[in-house]
Chains A and B, each alone.
Chain A
Amino acid sequence: MSKNIPDTWYLPEELEIEPFVADLAEAFGVAVEQAGQHRRIFYDSFDWRLYRKKWLLECTEEGWRLCEYGSGRTRAALADISCQGPRFAWDFPDSSLQRLLHTALDVRCLLPLVTLDERRTRVRILNRDEKTVAFLYLEELHVQEGERVLRTVRLQGVRGYVKKYRAVRRFLEQYGINESASPHFEFEEGLKAVGRTPGDYSSKFTIRLDPAMTAGQAARTIFLQLLGVMERNLPGIFDDLDSEFLHDFRVAIRRTRTGLAQFKKVLPAETTALFKNEFAWLGRVTGPTRDLDVYLLYRDDYLARLPEVLQPGLDEFFQDLARRRQEEFKRLVRALQAPRYREIVSSWREYLQSDREEEPAAAGMPVTDFARQIIYRRYRRVMKDGRAITDRSPDESLHRLRIQCKKLRYALEFFTSLFPEEDMTRVIKQLKKLQNNLGDFNDLSVQQDMLRRHLAELRTGSRKNLQLAAALGGLLTNLYHEQERVRKRFATTFQRFGDSDNTALFKRLFADSRARGRQK
């Protein structure tokens, strides 16, 4: 009974509150506290980062509270901060709530998922000393988006007063109060009303393919899902909630483009050509805003890379980036609101959902064979390009390898469900390590390019620009050294990726039977 979450039951429809409370008062000493209506808002990020940690974040007029889903144990709370204020973890004042939210949310913003208006009466059950020995909460909840009113009663025991708790419980039973509600029923019911289910969006790509599918069917299934991801992220992009809506949108575009290239034998040539072109355009119009989003997120990292004397120089720099970002963002919104975008989406969807007969012969191939072919080809390409890289190879060769790895990764993720889970987890984990190294290398060189461009555009003559130039110079040096270190690690990282175990695993999973035969 020292549980944090009280037992909760739905009130029978015919039960009337007033006589019920009067009877309660007759059976026990009570103090009835009529509370007015108050609002409760439950928050999470678009991709359920709190829910995935089994956390529930709620804001009321008293403040914010983060509790554990299920046990209801409070992890952290912050009083006197209004629900309108913070959107990101960093908007909260320094506190354990802020730190917990930061680890979970990172750059994602909080969204109000469920808003409830609650009218609640608290009845304290008292003993002869007028000490509270149990709490009874009679609640009436209106889910804002729904018609339904939920009426519940919660019974919260007080530690050390078990007998009284049991007596009250028996009293409730006599009233036919037996239909128990989930401890977070208000959140769950509220979600239903707004048409969402926990975990219904993740930026991780997962798809279940049926091995009985043909390559053509699988391609359509994959493309449709990617299109769905784009459409789901669009409102968040327009509302400019956080950087990740656009990011996920762009990843879906990139996956689609990779898919179009990999499935080219499966789709009619003119379809492939048309949509390759259209998705390339989408990639272009969304690129500049994303780049600037990324640069803006570097702020803390850049400050950490510089000695204190050079740090103030960066203020102007980030203000400038933020200005440019707003301009680019306007352009992006115009592009995505233009008819061309709607046209791409509707014609692409129409194509994917239709039953076209004129598909090329390869479309009829069993999907698993097709998947093996694609993955193995990509894998061999990665191995070949990677082996050719020496300490003296130009940076460009590492960039190209990064793209090859990405294509391999996408192919693996498209078809994960067709192969043993454990093997796929291992394969992807190995690849991820290589990708991280190459990704770091690329990020560092992109950043240096950006900083160099900025430095080149800088006019001399002002004190501010002098400070900025010094800061940029400091950053360039720092990033350059780090890139050198990352590059040095490449050889061992690649060696590990290409070791005999991993090679054997790729062969076993993806090489076709002839290739596997040759191996023996």
Chain B
Amino acid sequence: MSVIAVYNIKGGVGKTATAVNLSYLSSNHGVNTLLCDMDSQGSATYYFRIRPARKFNTRKLLKGGKHVDRNIRGTDYPGLDLLPADFSYRNIDIALDDLKKSRQRISRVLKPLKKEYGHIFLDCPPNVTLLSENIFHAADWILVPLIPTTLSHLAMQQLLNFLEEIGQDRSKVLVFFSMVEKRKNMHGEMMRQLEGQPGILRSHIPFLADVEKMGLYRQPVTAALPSSAASAAYRELWDEICAHIGADR
């Protein structure tokens, strides 16, 4: 049982695509999997053609228990469920701030779900907030898609510093390169620099049109085009992650 948060301070690095595809692969290998869409934009929810329930919102999420249970939706894929995002999540920090133990709230919400699901993925919004702090507490692993540029490198450093600051273990962090464009020299350069460092995964996801097009056909690329290069890249990434976290595929 692992809680895997897909996180980066920056947006547009392929977080949602990662969460959607890896959670699909996880369920495809027979592991009951839950994807929690924590981003108020609800992209993951959209990819699975799910509409959030009318009565679901931040308050219900933070109450947890049956309030969450009731709002989990099955996807088109057996073994993969989704907790949809709600637009009210954009103010989730204010709600969290009002609560006791405001840093462990999400952890508490997820606790009962761990019995039911072998893997729980969290698709996180791109910022450093009280919600992110909650997620870092709750997650066993923080998976960081990183576009190999200098700015991304900086964002990564900020994340590691922040984890240290809040007393979280840095070895939770697993970084992989995302949206990699082989013909860009800088990408290659950056990847070579970080290669082999602890927490940096070997597998990477190239910049591929098939991934970008996911918004059109609204399915994980790994499900819609299983023999595409994009799918192969996600599968390789998932295999490596499983080996790293000691989970069965």
Binding site for B on A (CB under 8 A): 2, 65, 74, 76-79, 95-97, 124, 129-132, 135, 156-161
Contact = CB atoms under 8 A, between A and B. Distances in A.
Contact of B30 (A65, A131, A132, A135): A65
Given A131-B50, A157-B74, 19 more contacts: A65-B30, A74-B79, A76-B30, A76-B248, A78-B30, A78-B248, A79-B249, A97-B248, A124-B76, A129-B49, A129-B50, A130-B49, A131-B49, A132-B74, A132-B76, A158-B75, A159-B72, A159-B73, A159-B81
B73 A79 contact: no
Contacts of B48: 131
Question: Which 3 pairs, one residue from A and one from B, show the smallest C-beta to C-beta distance?
Answer: A77-B30, A158-B74, A131-B49
Interface of B: 28-32, 48-51, 53, 71-76, 78-79, 81, 248-249
A159 B71 CA distance: 9
Contacts of B31: 77
Candidate in A96, A130, A159 with the most chain B CB atoms within 10 angstroms: A159
Contacts of A74: 30, 32, 79
B78 A135 contact: yes
A132 B49 CA distance: 9
Most A Cβ at <10 Å: residue of B49, B51, B53, B79: B49
Contacts, number: 48
A2 B74 CA distance: 9
13 contacts: A74-B30, A74-B79, A77-B29, A78-B30, A96-B248, A129-B51, A131-B49, A132-B75, A135-B78, A156-B78, A158-B74, A158-B75, A160-B71
Nearest to A130: B49
B248 A161 contact: no
Contacts of A159: 72-74, 81
A135 B31 CA distance: 19
B71 A95 contact: no
A156 B77 CA distance: 12
Main secondary structure of the interface of B (DSSP, over half): loop
B107 to A, nearest CB: 23
A161 B74 contact: yes
Contact of A95 (B32, B50, B53, B248): B248
A159 B81 CA distance: 8
A159 to B, nearest CB: 4
Nearest to B32: A74
B209 to A, nearest CB: 22
A95 B239 CA distance: 13
A255 B167 CA distance: 66
Contacts of B28: 79
A63 to B, nearest CB: 8
Contacts of B74: 2, 132, 157-161
Contacts of A95: 248
Contacts of A76: 30, 248
A475 B115 CA distance: 45
A131 B48 CA distance: 7
A159 B72 CA distance: 7
B74 to A, nearest CB: 4
Contacts of A97: 248
A129 to B, nearest CB: 4
Nearest to A135: B78
A178 B50 CA distance: 31
A500 to B, nearest CB: 48
A158 B79 CA distance: 10
Contacts of A130: 49
A161 B50 CA distance: 11
Contacts of A96: 248
B232 to A, nearest CB: 14
Nearest to B73: A160
Most chain B Cβ neighbours within 10 Å, of A76, A130, A158:
A158
A95 B30 CA distance: 13
Nearest to A1: B74
A190 B198 CA distance: 52
Nearest to B247: A96
A81 to B, nearest CB: 12
A96 B246 CA distance: 11
A124 B76 CA distance: 9
A276 B186 CA distance: 87
A131 B76 contact: yes
Given A135-B78, A158-B73, A79 B29 contact: yes
Contacts of A161: 73-74
Contacts of A124: 76
Nearest to A158: B74
Nearest to B116: A2
Nearest to B76: A132
A445 to B, nearest CB: 42
B175 to A, nearest CB: 26
Nearest to A131: B49
A160 B34 CA distance: 14
Nearest to A96: B248
B192 to A, nearest CB: 33
Nearest to A124: B76
A74 B28 CA distance: 12
Find the residue from B73, B76, B79 having the highest chain A CB count within 10 A.
B76
B36 to A, nearest CB: 14
B67 to A, nearest CB: 14
A132 B53 CA distance: 16
B142 to A, nearest CB: 24
B110 to A, nearest CB: 17
B81 to A, nearest CB: 6
A113 B31 CA distance: 26
A76 B29 CA distance: 9
A129 B50 CA distance: 8
Contacts of B75: 132, 158
B22 to A, nearest CB: 16
B208 to A, nearest CB: 24
A96 B247 CA distance: 9
Residue with the greatest number of chain A CB neighbours at <10 A, chosen from B30, B31, B72, B79: B30
A76 B249 CA distance: 10
B174 to A, nearest CB: 21
A120 to B, nearest CB: 14
A26 B76 CA distance: 21
Nearest to A75: B30
B217 to A, nearest CB: 10
A448 B91 CA distance: 74
Contacts of B81: 159
Contacts of A160: 53, 71-74
